[in-house]
Chain A
Amino acid sequence: MISQYIVNGLLTGGLYACLAVGFSLVWGVLNVVNMLHGSMVVLGAYFCLYGVQQLGLPLYAVAPVACVILFVFGYAIQRGLLNRVITQPILITLTLTFGLDLIVNNLIIHVFSATPQSLVTNFGTIEFAGVRVPVVRVGGMLVAVVLTLVLYWLLRHSKIGRAIIAVRMDRHAAALMGIRIPHIYALTFGIGAFMAGAAGCAMALIYPVTPMMSGVFLGKAFVICVLGGLGSVPGAIIGGLVLGVVEGLGTLTLGQQWATSVGFIMMMAVIVLFPTGIMGKKGYE
């Protein structure tokens, strides 16, 4: 019984990691809390659904295209809109992305529709040691985790990835080193959108997705990002898995309706208990 919940939690957690990693990267590197992230996940899911159901294309062809469209969308939003206010106080950037979220979400409802949609997939289930899991969930989770790991590898080993990390650590020094900050910002936001799209595609395979779910997705991203640490890819994976399992166990002990609250309360506890670790060092000179 417990093992079933833990396995379910881990499977969900893998998806969560993919869902949160882009949000975390944007927060860590750009210092922007991207309220638009949830809608980008939904957008990814809907592109995927549209390609498969309306155009009749195979999933493996549609999903990458959906992600790339989101990358372009994210790059454009950052380059065209967010870069202009990136030096403003937090309240401004947060509110701006919230406004954009309202617009995008409204557009999704109009262009697609508000009714829940899901890809009808049945790849059967596998059973192991008394734990039953649908194959599609394992697949979705694996794809999500592998993508997240690829992102991690790219950040460490590609030229652009290292530039992103340099900007995250010290943007002033990075600028002096000749890194084009506006471009790096836009790339980072684009990557965040790409990962959101990937998470959306994986979600569409498993859950019926509606535009209303953007808030839920955003909430998960918040929690994971705070649990795992800003802008940290491994942190997002760990945070995602922890959240998945904690929600699973919360469901088991308190009931389904409390699962989300448990995550939020855990996040608030982390924020409150580790303010210095999160706020960084203080200096008085």
Chain B
Amino acid sequence: MIIDRAFALKIAFGVLLFACGAGLSAVLDNYYLQVGTTLAMLCALCWAWNIVGGYMGYPALCMISFFGIGAYAGGIAQAAGVSESLAWLIAAGVGALFALLLGVPLLRLKGHYFAVGTIASVEVLREVANNWEQLTGGAVGLNLPIHAGSPDEVGRFFYLAMLGLAFLAFLITALVDRTKFGFGLRCIRQNEQAASMVGIDVFKYKVGAFVLTGVLGAATGAIYASMVAFLEPKDAFNLIMTIEIPVMVMLGGMGTIFGPLIGGVSYVILKEFVWAYFINWHSGILGLIVVTVIYFLPVGVLGLTWRDIFKKLGASKSTRPATSDIARSTS
């Protein structure tokens, strides 16, 4: 592990940020606690996705499959009488197993096929959750035991739980950023053939990253399930969210430590701000945000260096890519 000053500062800054976040729980009212919980949840998901999507560069669109699997695994366990914390652990384990089972076949694929296979997993799981009524309660939904305590206490508890998970995801990302494992993922992102030539067990690394993402996603889902105490297939396996997460990371910078945080926070602020004024245009505005993000920040805030920005400014003068440019792009 190479620890230089910049990295140490980043970690210190991150730890400070989370400490402040935890401290705030003492003073925030319930509304802000809820906003904070959502934010922590999205950031945890973004950090989780960033491992496969950012560092490894695979267009995984199954973040919500992991989330939903975790939610249902934890929910079903809790409904069966298992304690909350144990249910979360079970959910993480189920998430790992599911990621393994999904990853082994899908990670042999590249590009669009991988993307489509991962999206399809969301659709299949939603249908299964809808139809397997004995297990999931079907479309009617699944009720979980409600966390005991006053609304404030409960709000604070789940805020801290989500924050803790986000912190864990942050630490794991920091490790991935600096270790042999993460370095290997970056090599894989660039060129898989060359990666195996230098001795990287490409497939094992890919599956490992996928499982890591899966565990974090499932744990997030399980905490969410306990918090809302009610699960529906269309909530747990939400197709929009499975694409929103990558968009957030793109916004903040893929394959960076703070990209998921910056992206998650700015996306949520952007969305809340715009939604407040356009009640009937939720999905349209969301689409507009997505399109804007793609056009104006294709590498994300952190992925942009000043040199890139100047290049971009220069390039935007010629509006259309040259024929040869398009022709050069290959699958």
Q: Which of A99, A176, A275 is within 8 Å of B290, CB to CB?
A: A99
Q: How many residues of B contact A (CB 8 A)?
A: 57
Interface residues of B in 278-306 (CB under 8 A from A): 280-284, 286-291, 294-295, 298
- Known A182-B326, A272-B106; judge A264-B246 contact (CB<8 A): no
For residue A102, which residues in chain B have a CB less than 8 angstroms away from its CB?
Answer: 240, 283-284, 286-287, 290
Beta-carbon contact of A95 and B128 below 8 Å: no
Q: Which residue of B lies closest to A101 (CB)?
A: B287
**A272 and B108 alpha carbons, distance in the complex (Å):** 8
Interface: A226 (CB within 8 A):
yes
For residue B239, which residues in chain A have a CB less than 8 angstroms away from its CB?
Answer: 215
- Known A172-B328, A258-B131; judge A33-B291 contact (CB<8 A): no
Interface residues of A in 90-118 (CB under 8 A from B): 90-92, 94-96, 98-107, 110
- Known A87-B321, A258-B131; judge A99-B105 contact (CB<8 A): no
Beta-carbon contact of B113 and A275 below 8 Å: yes
- Known A100-B287, A260-B127; judge A95-B323 contact (CB<8 A): no
B91, chain A: closest CB distance, angstroms:
23
Beta-carbon contact of A27 and B112 below 8 Å: yes
Interface: B134 (CB within 8 A):
no
Q: Which of A87, A101, A261 is within 8 Å of B131, CB to CB?
A: A261
For residue A180, which residues in chain B have a CB less than 8 angstroms away from its CB?
Answer: 323
For residue B121, which residues in chain A have a CB less than 8 angstroms away from its CB?
Answer: 268
Interface residues on chain A, size class: 35 or more
Interface: B250 (CB within 8 A):
yes
Interface: A174 (CB within 8 A):
yes
Beta-carbon contact of A90 and B328 below 8 Å: no
Give 1 or 0 for each of B105-141: 1 = CB within 8 Å of chain A CB: 1101111110111011101100110110000000000
**A257 and B126 alpha carbons, distance in the complex (Å):** 12
Interface residues of B in 73-131 (CB under 8 A from A): 105-106, 108-113, 115-117, 119-121, 123-124, 127-128, 130-131
Beta-carbon contact of A99 and B287 below 8 Å: yes
Beta-carbon contact of A91 and B287 below 8 Å: no
For residue A89, which residues in chain B have a CB less than 8 angstroms away from its CB?
Answer: 57, 59
Give 1 or 0 for each of B299-327: 1 = CB within 8 Å of chain A CB: 00000000000000000000111011111
Beta-carbon contact of A86 and B329 below 8 Å: yes
- Known A268-B121, A275-B109; judge A90-B115 contact (CB<8 A): yes
**A94 and B106 alpha carbons, distance in the complex (Å):** 18
Q: Which residue of A lies closest to B122 (CB)?
A: A264
- Known A264-B120, A278-B109; judge A92-B294 contact (CB<8 A): yes
A159, chain B: closest CB distance, angstroms:
18
Q: Which of A105, A222, A257 is within 8 Å of B116, CB to CB?
A: A222
For residue B150, which residues in chain A have a CB less than 8 angstroms away from its CB?
Answer: none
**A96 and B247 alpha carbons, distance in the complex (Å):** 10
Interface of A is mostly: helix
Interface: B193 (CB within 8 A):
yes
- Known A102-B290, A105-B283, A174-B327; judge A279-B321 contact (CB<8 A): no
Interface: B155 (CB within 8 A):
no
Q: Which of A31, A85, A174, A261 is within 8 Å of B127, CB to CB?
A: A261
Interface: A132 (CB within 8 A):
no
Interface of B is mostly: helix
Beta-carbon contact of B327 and A257 below 8 Å: no
**A12 and B223 alpha carbons, distance in the complex (Å):** 43
Interface: A267 (CB within 8 A):
yes
Beta-carbon contact of A96 and B290 below 8 Å: yes
Beta-carbon contact of B291 and A96 below 8 Å: yes
For residue B282, which residues in chain A have a CB less than 8 angstroms away from its CB?
Answer: 106
Interface: B195 (CB within 8 A):
no
Beta-carbon contact of A103 and B131 below 8 Å: no
Q: Which residue of B lies closest to A226 (CB)?
A: B116
For residue B131, which residues in chain A have a CB less than 8 angstroms away from its CB?
Answer: 257-258, 261
Beta-carbon contact of B329 and A85 below 8 Å: no
**A110 and B281 alpha carbons, distance in the complex (Å):** 9
Interface residues of B in 236-250 (CB under 8 A from A): 239-240, 243, 246-247, 250
**A110 and B280 alpha carbons, distance in the complex (Å):** 9
Interface: A128 (CB within 8 A):
no
Interface: A232 (CB within 8 A):
no
For residue B111, which residues in chain A have a CB less than 8 angstroms away from its CB?
Answer: 90
Q: Which of A91, A107, A279 is within 8 Å of B113, CB to CB?
A: A279
Q: Which of A31, A91, A103 has the most CB of B within 10 A?
A: A91
- Known A106-B284, A275-B109; judge A257-B120 contact (CB<8 A): no
Interface: B214 (CB within 8 A):
no
Q: Which residue of B lies closest to A102 (CB)?
A: B287
Beta-carbon contact of A267 and B106 below 8 Å: no
Beta-carbon contact of A91 and B123 below 8 Å: no
Beyond A92-B250, A219-B123, 12 additional pairs, beta carbon < 8 A: A85-B295, A87-B326, A92-B294, A94-B115, A95-B246, A103-B284, A172-B327, A175-B327, A257-B131, A268-B105, A271-B117, A284-B193
* 12 A-B pairs with C-beta separation under 8 A: A33-B116, A87-B325, A91-B53, A91-B59, A96-B290, A99-B290, A102-B287, A105-B287, A260-B127, A268-B121, A268-B124, A275-B113
Q: Could you list which residues of chain B lie within 8 angstroms of chain A, going by C-beta atoms?
A: 53, 57, 59, 61, 105-106, 108-113, 115-117, 119-121, 123-124, 127-128, 130-131, 193, 239-240, 243, 246-247, 250, 280-284, 286-291, 294-295, 298, 319-321, 323-331
